[in-house]
Structure 1
């Protein structure tokens, strides 16, 4: 009931209705659990990542990265203190993971200093400093973390000059997702600047983990997925597993107006870009019946907005492509609606299907599509000018992935392929073909 409708009631009825609404909110609220130091339940998202990391490290999600370019006199005394305070605010950044009967549990630890490395590149010729910082950050992005011992994040500062630095934060995906990076960036800037922040969120990720696992409606929704994914076949032929290597990425840009040209009624840019990707996959595989995975976020409640953690879930979308692109967009929209209405945690979906896992083949789908938000400008840093220092992690956990990111009046379409299947030249051609599908 809205505030306007409440105001129109008598005092007695308004008091009664307010009490009933408060009771309803309390009944559905996420409860804050006591912290005794004992292991606490992991969320489905954390469990999926933990199991993937232990079983086949190559199929685990890549680390989450945040890059900032800062100009001005960077205080290397304040920065470590701000990083330690950031970890103190968000429990998931100081959580470790332990195995109990073959399943992961999280153990929240007291805040400790976080590794901060300074790499001085000023001995290099000026023109070589930025490319060297990018190359080093690429290597840092792929570093492995020890989930049992931690810490699960580190910050590297690349000095390009006395007033020019690049900050690169790497965090394990089990502790943070892409949607949490804006929170991390804003808090780190405020703590560095000495700004007064509100108290840490009373609700933390471990509370969400216990609440969300109790709410998963698996039994009633699993039949949908058994029917929907019956008889699926891999999009690409299997290739022998190879040692962990970074993927190969290439990107192309296309105007937003080109994407908007295909939008009609309820058709979104997500559907248009996914539709074009499906057409590309059809050409590469020679098949009409395709399954593509995408990500959703469980951060749908107001009390979770300030919480840092991993909220993403993987969802398979099965679509028949065909030759009519507008009709394909309708089928994409229907597939997305059905998947979201029956969403369950991906790890329980895979185990519920009972499919035999093959080495080198991602369960349920081999191709992935991610539609990201327009990157927000970095918040102000005291005495510094800051901007986003872009760094694309080459995720080779899928045979082929498309990441669509708005960049002003354009979309950046980044194709990442497994090195055992695609060469840089292959992906360059596929990226150009993808652009041509949207703008023939």
Structure 2
């Protein structure tokens, strides 16, 4: 009797997957790089939430506890054993928010004291094998003025998750404050199911097709480095420079981008690429951008680390006008976005690229928009404004994060965070590069 071989079709829905014991490719890359730099804060994500009005801290703790119980990723730890990295999902727990009461200080001393508390909290070092990996501290400045300081490890966080987290905390707080139970829609999947789905997808036909694409896309691109070979690779210390793009300048960016038939992000990215080309003498190279990996509707409400660092191949010739460079970059970016959910670590591994401490094997510079939606917060009668922060660290030679204005942010200007590796740049060199970018951006806006 001949056995009939039946091909079993792998379920395509994330919610059909069994929870994985391991971790995602996205988390794995962070854990591997963190092991190169023990005790660093480069993978801390932080924000300050400024609250005006009365805030019930006990209700806020219950609201955060509800969200932590709802999302397994917020109560998951990661350990390393003989079989690799393993995830452990812990039972729900009562989330504690430490209080730092500065309301008794003289009024002029409160904000400086709050800044000191914030700096101390943001320098904390997380152990991914121990809870909590998300912390929120409350600083009371007055009876009707607070600052909430959020710090978490990047293995549980991405920009999309940040907005979802505070949307759900707000809903839960406002329900609990009025004696009701929160009633958020059930999640269709949890993060460990995403891990199973991602691993199955990347280890199958799609993953091979995607890596073949990336091998062809990256073939021949130069390695651009402005900082030379670092003398030491045991540190991720960086120079952080925050710059402001005024509202009128950002308005001109929008207008110019529209005339060029590109997005404001591509326009600002292309100015940076032209500056890299001029400084390095290279005309064909890659710059990284951050893209969210939520390709399935089931993943949109989920809190977890799914963002990818995606290479964008850039071709810049000295004789090309800015609009041609920008449109060429946009075309290249659209081509790459077809496989934007492929983790960089998988590309590196499948292409057998050498990964060394202190050097990314694909690109040394990253330029991204952080434009994920953030909510306008209200806690009962109190209003709150979210203020994202960056740290004095650098995972690349240069990492630029632009936070553009949006309808959910009160600011009409854009914020630019420039992170320069101290291994590659002196502080004065970093300041000069930012100034040169601003001058080049102004010239493009003036002449285009």
- The TM-score range, normalised by the shorter chain, is 0.7 to 0.9
- Give the direction of change, closer, same or farther, for the CA distance of 1:144–1:60 in structure 2 (3 Å limit): closer
Contact between 2:140 and 2:146, CA under 8 Å: does it hold in 1? yes
Partner SS, residue 414 of structure 2: strand
Aligned to 1:31: 15
Contact between 2:24 and 2:198, CA under 8 Å: does it hold in 1? yes
- Give the direction of change, closer, same or farther, for the CA distance of 1:374–1:42 in structure 2 (3 Å limit): closer
- Give the direction of change, closer, same or farther, for the CA distance of 1:423–1:258 in structure 2 (3 Å limit): farther
Aligned to 1:430: 433
Given candidates 205, 210, 226, the residue that maps to 2:196 is: 210
Aligned to 1:371: 369
Contact between 1:114 and 1:153, CA under 8 Å: does it hold in 2? no
Q: Are residues 1:225 and 2:214 paired? A: yes
- What is the alpha-carbon distance in structure 1 between the residues aligned to residue 39 and residue 292 of structure 2? 23
Where does the alignment leave 5 or more consecutive residues of structure 2 unmatched? 1-9, 406-410, 444-448
Aligned to 2:401: 403
Partner SS, residue 263 of structure 1: helix
Give deviations 1:2-30, integer Å, cap 9, x for gaps: xxxxxxxxxxxxxxxxxxxxxxxx96422
Contact between 2:62 and 2:95, CA under 8 Å: does it hold in 1? no
- What is the alpha-carbon distance in structure 1 between the residues aligned to residue 229 and residue 277 of structure 2? 17
Aligned to 1:272: 267
- Give the direction of change, closer, same or farther, for the CA distance of 1:427–1:105 in structure 2 (3 Å limit): same
Aligned to 1:180: 161
- What is the alpha-carbon distance in structure 2 between the residues aligned to residue 113 and residue 202 of structure 1? 24
- What is the alpha-carbon distance in structure 1 between the residues aligned to residue 28 and residue 162 of structure 2? 21
Contact between 1:400 and 1:416, CA under 8 Å: does it hold in 2? yes
Offset at residue 140 of structure 1 (A): 2.2
Given candidates 229, 251, 258, the residue that maps to 1:257 is: 251
Contact between 1:42 and 1:209, CA under 8 Å: does it hold in 2? yes
RMSD over aligned CA atoms reads 2.5
Contact between 1:293 and 1:314, CA under 8 Å: does it hold in 2? yes
- Give the direction of change, closer, same or farther, for the CA distance of 1:284–1:102 in structure 2 (3 Å limit): farther
Give deviations 1:139-178, integer Å, cap 9, x for gaps: 4234221111222111111121222110011111111211
Correspondence 1:103-114 to 2 at 5 A: 103-114=84-95
Misfit runs of 4+, over 6 Å = none
- Give the direction of change, closer, same or farther, for the CA distance of 1:361–1:48 in structure 2 (3 Å limit): same
Give deviations 1:309-357, integer Å, cap 9, x for gaps: 1110111112122232111112211221222224422111111222223
- What is the alpha-carbon distance in structure 2 between the residues aligned to residue 103 and residue 183 of structure 1? 30
- Give the direction of change, closer, same or farther, for the CA distance of 1:377–1:81 in structure 2 (3 Å limit): closer
Q: TM-score, normalised by structure 2?
A: 0.84
- Give the direction of change, closer, same or farther, for the CA distance of 1:233–1:265 in structure 2 (3 Å limit): closer
Aligned to 2:329: 332
- What is the alpha-carbon distance in structure 2 between the residues aligned to residue 327 and residue 265 of structure 1? 8
- Give the direction of change, closer, same or farther, for the CA distance of 1:310–1:363 in structure 2 (3 Å limit): same
Where does the alignment leave 5 or more consecutive residues of structure 1 unmatched? 1-25
Contact between 2:225 and 2:280, CA under 8 Å: does it hold in 1? yes
Partner SS, residue 31 of structure 2: helix
Offset at residue 375 of structure 1 (A): 5.5
Given candidates 95, 98, 109, the residue that maps to 1:117 is: 98
Given candidates 235, 248, 256, the residue that maps to 1:243 is: 235
Aligned to 2:3: none
Correspondence 1:6-405 to 2 at 5 A: 28-33=12-17, 40-57=21-38, 62-193=43-174, 194=176, 196-216=182-202, 217-231=206-220, 232-236=222-226, 237-239=228-230, 240-254=232-246, 255-260=249-254, 261-264=256-259, 266-323=261-318, 324=320, 325-343=322-340, 344-373=342-371, 376-405=374-403
Figure out how many residues of one structure are paired with residues of the other and give that number. Answer: 412
Contact between 1:59 and 1:362, CA under 8 Å: does it hold in 2? no
